[in-house]
Structure 1
Amino acid sequence: MKAASLGYLDEGSGPPLVLLMGLGATAEAWRPHLDAWAAEFRCIAVDNPGAGGSELGGEPLTVAAIAARVAALLDELGMERVAVAGISMGACTAQELALQRPDLVSRLVLVAPWAVSDAYTDGVLESLVASRTDSSSRHFALHLRNTVWTPEWINEHAEQFESDLAQEPVISLEAFTAQATACSTHDTRARLAAIDVPTLVTVGTEDVFIRPGLSYAVADGISGAELRMFGGTGHVHHWERLDEFNTIVGEWLR
């Protein structure tokens, strides 16, 4: 489906839950979570600009602009109060959405979030864009895999990854570059205290992309935020510990 120039999935029934995906992925990447949560929530998984059914647009992309487009989509769908879960870049968008539209957001789940990028994270983003630009699709996939998963998970699922490495990227180079730039320019440091809704922050303790300290700072900056650490997992701790993550988030949202 499509509205407000954004593509989205709309599945399940119950209280509305908006799902915002991270860099380089489509809304379909929510599938392992959406299938679990759609039994009790109306899940609206949004394609980021340039991904899936969403138009990139002609203006420079920022996280704040993505949030504004998500708000327009929810207004068009007649949503009044929604829970929002965001992964990585989606967790940044969720922060901005709560700040822009406090009337719209009732709860937040922030998965591997950050309030501001730093030199190290900017370097990771720049290297991913360079790999996407200059490398084969396989080499880019290897680079991305080694950035977001733990070595232990990779070693235990080597055969599964081989088939994944053969796939082409799901968004264009232009869109990937624009999204990476939005990630590096995101900054809510001075505004986090204005977020006044129940918030859950989840962190993979071995995350080498968005290092845990960046996510801890988000939890510290939002009054009353709850922090859940997934020991021994990386950036995609929500996939490495899928069933546990789905259960924790599902129970917290009830």
Structure 2
Amino acid sequence: MKAVILCGGKGTRMGEETQYKPKPLVNIGGRPIIWHIIKMFSHYGIKDFILCLGYKGDMIKQYFNEMHWKNNDYTIHIENGLSNIEYHTKGTEKLNITMVDTGLETLTAGRLKKIKKYLNEDEFLLTYGDGLSDVNIDQLIKYHKMKGKIATLTGVHPTSSFGVIEVENGIAKSFKEKPKQGGFINGGFMVLNKKIYDYIPEEDCMFVQQPLKNIAKDGELAVFEHNGFWTAIDTLKDLLMVNELWNSGKRPWEVWG
């Protein structure tokens, strides 16, 4: 099964971090977000990826073209003006990454339309290039097949931005720092059947708006409940948080470790 990763947004809420690079290339622990996402999927045996590129997509292409020498120790042997590279650490992963320029201003539904020809199976995974989680992809796929619906999304509980105080008779009984709230939001890790293309209109739109809402209206949207770690890296504050987790050794999304 292929994993489609939406990498085309401008990431305007991250300020200077995305002024000169696309959000998927913003670093966490010295490696770009996209590296962490691919490592997570690869842990579950997903080796085929389609990247929907847009804003500064050439930089993402360049990263993967140069990834081998950037992530490995090597010696350059120079003789008679010719050079030969000897790598000292050899990777064991075999990945197939298709990079597709889906447009600078294209919305997510339009990006999906532009990569349809690269999907050779009825079902595929979809996620965003700025989300991290320890969601079990094997269980997500199994749940999708069990429900037999057109689409399955990972439902996560949003976290409040503020602490909550439990009060009884005017006295604080407990204080919860940023507790999880009731209900679900879309955690961004989805399994989709190609029938979703029947719901994508001619006019460009966000996939989670008209198409996904109509899929849900037809009773064809399943929700896989995830109570573990999940975060979207939307702001500089989010980026600082995940880097602090990485540097402290608390890396809940590092399922491959």
TM-score range, shorter chain: 0.3 to 0.5
TM-score by length of 1: 0.33
TM-score by length of 2: 0.32
Larger Rg: 2
Between Structure 1 and Structure 2, the one with more strand by share is 2
